[in-house]
């Protein structure tokens, strides 16, 4: 979610859900802040989380897909910082496309909390923690839980025809 235009607080009926949080080991200090934000938001919503670690961002989609078959929603957390080569763009595009595909293919909400930033300072500004402008870990968890709650309503309806 973008910092501008962010919705006001709204109610989510997510109690009793179980959400998988899949996180990367790269940029560990930033990712730890994202995880803390996701944990705090889960506690606030009455959601149980189970966490899984992968090496880097490119490994996220496959583990997220396995989790999407077993949980109400999944949250992917990581941080990719631009380097001196085109690798940054390939990683960011692949991860975003992979996570989007998983959500659609599995019909399970996937909260994308993978930061894609120019420099480490930008990551800390988005990762939550003291004096941060945003908390993308909490936002990703909230977005996934909210979508899962709406899917519960839709799935309770009879199929047309």
Q: Which residues are annotated as a binding site for (2S)-2-hydroxy-3-oxobutyl phosphate?
A: 84-85, 126
Catalytic residue among 87, 101, 133, 152: 87
What element of type H or E holds 41?
Answer: helix 28-45
Distance CA 27, CA 46 (A): 28
> Which residues are 83's β-sheet partners?
none
146 is catalytic: no
Residue 68 contacts residue 106 (beta carbons within 8 Å): yes
**Residues annotated as binding site?**
26, 57-59, 79-81, 84-85, 112, 126
Rounded to whole angstroms, the maximal C-alpha distance in the chain is 55
**Residues annotated as binding site for 5-amino-6-(D-ribitylamino)uracil?**
26, 57-59, 79-81, 112
Instruction: Indicate which residues carry an active-site annotation.
Output: 87
């Amino acid at each position: 979610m973008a910092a501008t235009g962010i919705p006001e607080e709204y109610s989510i009926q997510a109690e009793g859900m179980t959400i998988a949080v899949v996180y990367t080991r790269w940029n560990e200090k930033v990712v730890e802040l994202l995880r803390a934000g996701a944990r705090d938001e889960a506690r606030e919503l009455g959601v149980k989380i189970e966490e899984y670690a992968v090496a880097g961002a490119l490994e996220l989609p496959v583990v997220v897909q396995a989790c999407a078959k077993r949980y109400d929603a999944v949250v992917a957390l990581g941080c990719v910082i631009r380097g001196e080569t085109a690798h940054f763009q390939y990683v960011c595009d692949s991860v975003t496309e992979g996570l989007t595909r998983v959500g659609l293919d599995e019909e399970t909400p996937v909260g994308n909390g993978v930061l894609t930033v120019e420099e480490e300072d930008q990551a800390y500004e988005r990762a939550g923690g003291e004096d941060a402008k945003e908390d993308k870990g909490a936002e990703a968890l909230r977005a996934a839980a909210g979508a899962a709650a709406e899917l519960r309503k839709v799935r309770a309806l009879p199929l047309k025809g």
